[in-house]
Amino acid sequence: MSTFKAPKGTYDLLPPDSAQFLAVREAIAAPLRNSGYGYIETPGFENVELFARGVGESTDIVTKEMYVFETKGGDRLALRPETTAPVLRAVLEANLHKAGNLPVKVWYSGSQYRYERPQKGRYRHFSQVGAEAIGAEDPALDAELIILADQSYRALGLQNFRILLNSLGDKECRPVYRAALQDFLRGLDLDEETLRRAEINPLRVLDDKRPEVQKQLTDAPLLRDYLCDACKTYHEEVRELITAAGVVFEDDPKLVRGLDYYTRTTFEFVHDGLGSQSAVGGGGRYDGLSEMIGGPSLPSVGWALGVDRTVLALEAEGIELDIPSATSVFAVPLGEEARRVLFSKVTELRKNGVAADFSYGGKGLKAAMKAANRSGARYALVLGERDLAEGVVQLKDMESGEQTAIGVNEIVAELESRLG
């Protein structure tokens, strides 16, 4: 056993459990690839100011949860707590928005890092798959992303999740609501830190999960009552488009999300089987983020879905994914000459696209067949001295137990035929 352990709040993703995580990532990514989204990857750390400006200086992410460090050259960097701001930074830096083909549609998969209080479903290192559509203000884009996320979860077999939907207004109508909300919050019995937050961004107080705060917010003014005509029309079109696609959602007038850059459409995917950490993903429109980080006006929309929490949602519903075995053929050599011959055949099988593994370390037949069983292989190849003399290999069907002698030179073609 090692002297060292994984840092608090993190985990190691190991086989066979890792296969489920990969399957979840693939299920989320597949609809995106089929809808014109290209893969993007950004560094695991960025300039601190990128998140301070974009995510918001009053958010818990920036004030409490970011891993910040200074390089030997004096640069202040932060491990990535979210990926929307880095993706937009990368698109601007590469001038993809100037290529004349807007929106720029990209998806990503990677780790995020937040110094949070660890508990089930909340880690300091977690994995997300996300998508961003950058450079177009169109309700159809908002609807497209919500529909694609819904498709991802349906493809995994999930049923007991809900989609919460709201509009946060825009730069025209939100300031009026902001002032009304601040007036309301000043009359409540709130601690100094919450009152300070209310002066910087009062919408963040609505996202406070503490029962003593939520109890006082029952009669808080609702943003939907302050939306301008343009925002009302935009939001109604998003609702109509996702309804027409058969996607069921719930209007949640108090949904604000935890990041400052959201405008208009905002949504969250929640699963009631996960307890307090019920949010499995979410996102929304962020029309002003580009200007916040020094770019031109680029209205955009996106989401991120948590891989870790999606796996927990599958467990909560008792769903076992049908994950193919990583190995189709397992070779068991008995003796040095058999080892040389079978290793050559395994190499040939792999070159031909057949997933094959090998019994390493000179195991005896019993131990090697146990390893073959553990690998989940469909077939085992067993080669001993008598088989070598006769020029055959014993091909064992691991499901039926049937064993057949096949010519050494025919075994690759035979397995390709059987495995399709």
d(CA 415, CA 349): 8
Question: Is 63 marked within a binding site?
Answer: no
Residue 404, SS3 per DSSP: strand
Question: Is 262 marked within a binding site?
Answer: yes
Question: Is 263 marked within a binding site?
Answer: no
CB 275 within 8 A of CB 171: no
Q: At what angle do helices 139-155 and 229-244 cross, to 10 degrees?
A: 30
d(CA 140, CA 146): 10
Residue 316, SS3 per DSSP: helix
Cis peptide before 16 (omega within 30 of 0): yes
What's the Cα-to-Cα distance from 228 to each of 223, 224, 254, rounded to whole Å? 10, 9, 17
Question: Is 108 marked within a binding site?
Answer: no
329's CB contacts (< 8 A; 6+ apart) are 346, 349, 354, 355, 356, 357, 377, 378, 379, 380, 381, 415, 419
CB 348 within 8 A of CB 339: no
Question: Is 257 marked within a binding site?
Answer: yes
Question: Is 84 marked within a binding site?
Answer: yes
Question: Is 10 marked within a binding site?
Answer: no
SS3 content of the chain, % helix, strand, coil (to 5): 40, 20, 35
Q: How far is CA 117 from the centre of its chain?
A: 20
Number of Cβ within a 10 Å radius of residue 309 = 27
Alpha helices by DSSP H, listed for 228-317, are 229-244, 289-292, 307-316
CB 379 within 8 A of CB 415: yes
Q: What is the DSSP letter of 208?
A: -
Residue set of the binding site for L-histidine: 82-84, 114, 128, 132, 257, 261-262
Residue set of the binding site: 82-84, 114, 128, 132, 257, 261-262
